[in-house]
C-alpha cells in the first residue's frame, strides 16, 4: 500500500513539475486572492492584519479547489483513470498517493501564502510550532477530504461546479479550526490554539480513514 | 391511468391530516401564550418538529439507506431511492426550520440571524445535504450515481459531529453566554398543554415525513421505470423500422 502510494504521489508530482500548471496558475491565483482581499477590506484600519488568519485559510481553500480539480483532470484524458484501475495498484495506496501529492502542493502553497500575508498584511509570526502543527493537520485533512470528493465528482459532466458545492461545507470545520489556531499563532486571538489543532487532527484522521476504505468502491465502478 | 396510491398510503395521509389539524388547534388555541415571549412561543410547535424530522429522521434514514446500498448483500435500487427521497425531504424541512427559526428570532431577539452554535451548524448541514442532492441530479449512469451518492451521504454524515463540535467551540471559547437562552426553550420542565402540543406536533410531522417519503419514493421509482421502458420502446421502434426497410 505504501509503495503504491509513493508511486502515485511521485507520478502526480512529476506531472505538476513538468506541466507547471501549479506553479504558473494555482500559485499566482493564491497571491491574487490575497491582493483582492486588500481591495475588498480597508488596508489602512488594520482590518487586514486582524483578519489575516482567516483570509490566509480562505486563500488556501480556494487554491485547494483548483489543485484538487487539477489532480483529477490529469487522469481524465487518454483513459488515465482506466489505466490506474487496471494497474493492479491498491486503491488505498492510490488514494494515499493522490492525497499525498495534493498535500505536498498545498504545503508549498501555504509557505508562499505565509510569506504573502507577512509582506502584504503586515503580520508577524509568533508561535512557530503551533503554526506548523496547524498547517500540517489542516493540510492533511483538506487533501484527504478533497481527494475523496474529487474522486466523487471525477468524470461527471458538471464536476467543475459540483466540487466546490460538495467540498466547501465539508471542510468548513477545517477553515474554522485552522483560522482560530492560526490566530493564536499570530498573536491575534486570546485563547490557546491547541484544542483547534486537535480538532483538525481528528478531521484529518477521519477523512484519511474514510478515503482508504471508500476509494476501492469509488474506483471500481465508473 | 390508474392511481398509484394504496390503501396504506391513503390511511397514512388521512392520519397525517388529522394529526396536523390537532397540532394546529392545540398550538393556536389550547396552549397558553408564554409568560415572556407571548404568542411568539407558538412557533416552537412548528420549529421543533421540523428540526426533528430534518436532522434526525431524514438524514438518519438517508445514512442508513446509503449504508445498506453500499453493503453488497442488501444492494438494490430500493435503498438508493429511499436515501434520495429522504434527503430531499430533509433539505426541505431543514430549510423550513431555518426560516421558522429566523422569524421566531426576529420576534423574540430582534434579529433574523445570530451566529449561535446551533444555528450555524444547522446552516452548514443545509448546504452539506444540498450538495448531496446536487450530486444525485447529475446526469450519469444510475449505478455509478447511486454508488457515488451513497458514498457522499456517508462522507457528509461523518462530518456532522465534527461540524457540531467545531461551531460549539467557536462560539463558547470566545463568549461565555449568548443572549439566546436555549436552556429555557428546551428545558424539560415545560409543563402541561405546552409539552403535549409539542409531543403531538412531533408525531404529526413524523407521520407527514412517512407519507412524503412513500410518495417521493414512488415518484422516483416510476421515473426510473419510465427511463427503462423509454429506452426499450425506442429500441423496439428502431428494430421495427429496420425490419420494414428490409422488406
SS3 letters across chain B: CCCCCCHHHHHHHHHHHHHHHHHHHHHHHHCCCECCCEHHHHHHHHHHHHHHHHHHHHHHHHHHHHHHHHCHHHCCHHHHHHHHHHHHHHHHHHHHHHHHHHHHHHHHCCCCCCCCHHHHHHHHHHHHHHHHHHHHCCCCCHHHHHHHHHHHHHHHHHHHHHHHHHHHHHHHHHCCCCCCCHHHHHCCCCCHHHHHHHHHHHHHHHHHHHHHHHHHHHHHHHHHHHHHHHHHHHHHHHHHHHHHHHC
* Contact state of A217 with B159 under an 8 Å Cβ cutoff: no
> Which of A160, A163, A172, A198 to mutate to probe the B interface, most B CBs <10 Å?
A172
Q: How far is CA A151 from the centre of its chain?
A: 15
Please report the pLDDT score of residue B189 as a whole number: 54
Nearest-Cα distance to chain A for B193, in Å, is 39
Q: What is the mean pLDDT of chain B?
A: 83
Q: Is the pLDDT of residue B180 over 60?
A: no
Q: Among the listed ranges A118-122, B156-160, B179-183, which one has the minimum average pLDDT value?
A: B179-183
* Contact state of A221 with B147 under an 8 Å Cβ cutoff: yes
| Set of chain A residues whose Cβ sits within 8 Å of the Cβ of B173 | 180, 191, 195
Say if residue B182 is exposed, middle or buried (CB neighbours under 10 Å; 0-12, 13-18, 19+). exposed
| pLDDT tens per residue, range B212-221 | 999 999 998 8
Number of domains present in the structure of chain A: 1
Counting other chains too, the contacts that A29-34 makes at CB distance below 8 Å and 24 or more residues apart are: A29/A62, A29/A63, A29/A66, A30/A59, A30/A60, A30/A62, A30/A63, A30/A109, A30/A112, A30/A113, A30/A116, A31/A112, A31/A113, A31/A116, A33/A58, A33/A59, A33/A62, A33/A63, A34/A59, A34/A113, A34/A116, A34/A117, A34/A120, A34/A121
Say if residue A56 is exposed, middle or buried (CB neighbours under 10 Å; 0-12, 13-18, 19+). buried
B63: pLDDT confidence band, cut at 50, 70 and 90?
very high
Output B5 or B154, whichever has higher pLDDT.
B154
**Spatial separation of the C-alpha atoms in residues A156 and A103, rounded to whole Å:** 24
Please report the pLDDT score of residue B186 as a whole number: 52
User: What ipTM score was computed for the predicted complex, to two decimals?
Assistant: 0.84
Q: Do A148 and A211 touch, CB atoms closer than 8 A? A: yes
Q: What is the mean pLDDT of chain A?
A: 86
| pLDDT tens per residue, range B88-106 | 999 999 999 999 888 888 8
Alpha-carbon distance values, A171 to A139, A167, A204, A209, B137 (Å): 11, 6, 10, 16, 22
* Contact state of A169 with B70 under an 8 Å Cβ cutoff: no
* Contact state of B155 with A191 under an 8 Å Cβ cutoff: no
Proportion of chain B above pLDDT 70, given as a percent: 90
Q: How far is CA B49 from the centre of its chain?
A: 11
| Set of chain B residues whose Cβ sits within 8 Å of the Cβ of A148 | 151, 155
* Structural domain span for residue A132: 2-221
Kindly state whether A160 is in contact with chain B, defined as any CB-CB distance less than 8 angstroms.
no
| Set of chain B residues whose Cβ sits within 8 Å of the Cβ of A202 | 162
| Set of chain A residues whose Cβ sits within 8 Å of the Cβ of B138 | 156-158, 162
* Contact state of B140 with A221 under an 8 Å Cβ cutoff: no
> Which of B41, B140, B147, B8 lies closest to B84 in space, CA to CA?
B147
| Chain B residues within 8 Å of chain A (Cβ atoms) | 70, 124, 127-128, 130-132, 134-135, 138-140, 143-144, 147-148, 151-152, 154-156, 158-159, 162-163, 165-167, 169-170, 173-174
Nearest-Cα distance to chain A for B181, in Å, is 24
Q: Do A153 and A163 touch, CB atoms closer than 8 A? A: yes
Q: Is the pLDDT of residue A19 over 90?
A: no
> Which of B129, B148, B150, B164 to mutate to probe the A interface, most A CBs <10 Å?
B148
| pLDDT tens per residue, range A169-202 | 999 999 989 998 888 888 776 677 888 899 999 9
Q: Do B194 and B35 touch, CB atoms closer than 8 A? A: no
- Give the end-to-end CA distance of chain B in Å, rounded to a whole number: 36
| Residues 6+ away with beta carbon under 8 Å from A166 | A149, A152, A153, B131, B132, B134, B135, B152
Q: Do B119 and B101 touch, CB atoms closer than 8 A? A: yes
Q: Among the listed ranges A136-140, B37-41, B138-142, B147-151, which one has the minimum average pLDDT value?
A: B37-41
Nearest by CB: B173 against A162, A172, A191 = A191
Q: Is the pLDDT of residue A45 over 80?
A: no
Please report the pLDDT score of residue B139 as a whole number: 81
The predicted model gives B196-208 an average pLDDT of: 90
Q: How far is CA B203 from the centre of its chain?
A: 15
Output A76 or A134, whichever has higher pLDDT.
A134
Whether this prediction's pTM lies above 0.80 is answered by yes
A221: pLDDT confidence band, cut at 50, 70 and 90?
low
| Set of chain A residues whose Cβ sits within 8 Å of the Cβ of B165 | 173, 199
Cross-strand partners of B158: none
* Contact state of B162 with A180 under an 8 Å Cβ cutoff: no
Q: Where are the domains of chain B?
A: 18-26+43-178+195-238
Q: Is the pLDDT of residue A1 over 90?
A: no
Q: Is the pLDDT of residue A141 over 90?
A: yes
Q: How far is CA A46 from the centre of its chain?
A: 28
Nearest-Cα distance to chain A for B63, in Å, is 15
Amino acid at each position: 500500500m505504501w509503495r503504491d502510494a509513493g508511486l502515485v504521489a511521485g507520478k502526480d508530482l512529476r506531472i505538476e513539475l513538468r506541466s507547471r500548471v501549479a506553479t504558473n496558475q494555482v500559485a499566482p491565483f493564491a497571491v491574487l486572492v490575497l491582493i483582492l482581499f486588500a481591495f475588498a477590506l480597508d488596508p489602512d484600519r488594520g482590518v487586514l492584519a486582524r483578519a489575516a488568519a482567516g483570509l490566509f485559510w480562505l486563500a488556501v481553500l480556494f487554491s485547494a479547489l483548483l489543485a484538487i480539480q487539477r489532480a483529477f483532470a490529469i487522469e481524465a484524458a487518454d483513459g488515465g483513470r482506466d489505466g490506474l484501475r487496471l494497474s493492479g495498484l491498491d486503491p488505498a495506496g492510490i488514494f494515499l498517493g493522490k492525497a499525498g501529492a495534493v498535500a505536498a502542493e498545498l504545503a508549498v502553497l501555504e509557505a508562499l501564502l505565509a510569506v504573502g500575508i507577512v509582506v502584504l498584511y503586515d503580520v508577524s509570526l509568533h508561535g512557530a510550532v503551533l503554526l506548523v502543527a496547524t498547517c500540517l493537520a489542516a493540510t492533511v485533512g483538506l487533501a484527504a477530504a478533497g481527494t475523496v470528493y474529487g474522486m466523487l465528482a471525477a468524470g461527471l459532466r458538471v464536476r467543475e461546479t459540483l466540487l466546490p458545492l460538495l467540498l466547501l461545507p465539508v471542510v468548513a470545520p477545517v477553515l474554522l479550526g485552522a483560522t482560530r489556531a492560526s490566530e493564536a499563532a499570530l498573536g491575534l486571538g486570546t485563547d490557546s490554539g491547541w484544542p483547534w489543532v486537535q480538532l483538525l487532527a481528528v478531521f484529518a484522521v477521519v477523512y484519511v480513514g474514510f478515503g482508504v476504505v471508500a476509494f476501492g468502491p469509488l474506483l471500481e465502478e465508473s | 391511468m390508474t392511481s398509484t396510491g394504496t390503501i396504506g398510503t391513503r390511511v397514512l395521509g388521512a392520519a397525517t391530516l388529522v394529526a396536523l389539524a390537532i397540532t394546529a388547534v392545540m398550538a393556536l388555541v389550547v396552549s397558553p401564550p408564554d409568560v415572556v415571549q407571548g404568542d411568539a412561543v407558538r412557533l416552537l410547535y412548528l420549529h421543533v418538529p421540523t428540526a426533528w424530522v430534518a436532522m434526525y429522521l431524514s438524514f438518519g434514514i438517508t445514512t442508513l439507506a446509503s449504508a445498506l446500498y453500499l453493503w453488497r448483500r442488501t444492494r438494490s435500487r430500493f435503498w438508493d431511492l429511499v436515501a434520495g427521497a429522504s434527503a430531499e425531504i430533509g433539505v426541505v424541512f431543514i430549510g423550513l426550520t431555518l426560516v421558522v427559526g429566523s422569524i421566531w428570532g426576529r420576534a423574540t431577539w430582534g434579529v433574523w440571524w445570530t451566529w449561535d452554535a446551533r444555528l450555524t451548524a444547522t446552516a452548514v448541514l443545509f448546504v452539506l445535504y444540498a450538495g448531496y442532492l446536487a450530486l444525485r441530479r447529475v446526469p450519469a449512469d444510475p449505478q455509478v450515481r447511486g454508488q457515488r451518492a451513497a458514498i457522499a451521504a456517508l462522507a457528509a454524515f461523518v462530518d456532522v459531529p465534527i461540524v457540531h463540535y467545531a461551531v460549539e467551540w467557536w462560539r463558547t471559547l470566545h463568549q461565555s453566554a449568548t443572549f439566546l437562552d436555549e436552556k429555557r426553550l428546551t428545558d424539560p420542565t415545560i409543563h402541561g398543554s405546552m409539552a403535549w402540543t409539542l409531543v403531538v406536533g412531533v408525531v404529526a410531522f413524523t407521520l407527514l415525513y412517512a407519507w412524503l417519503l412513500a410518495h417521493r419514493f414512488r415518484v422516483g421509482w416510476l421515473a426510473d421505470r419510465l427511463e427503462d421502458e423509454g429506452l426499450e420502446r425506442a429500441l423496439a421502434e428502431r428494430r421495427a423500422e429496420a425490419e420494414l426497410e428490409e422488406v
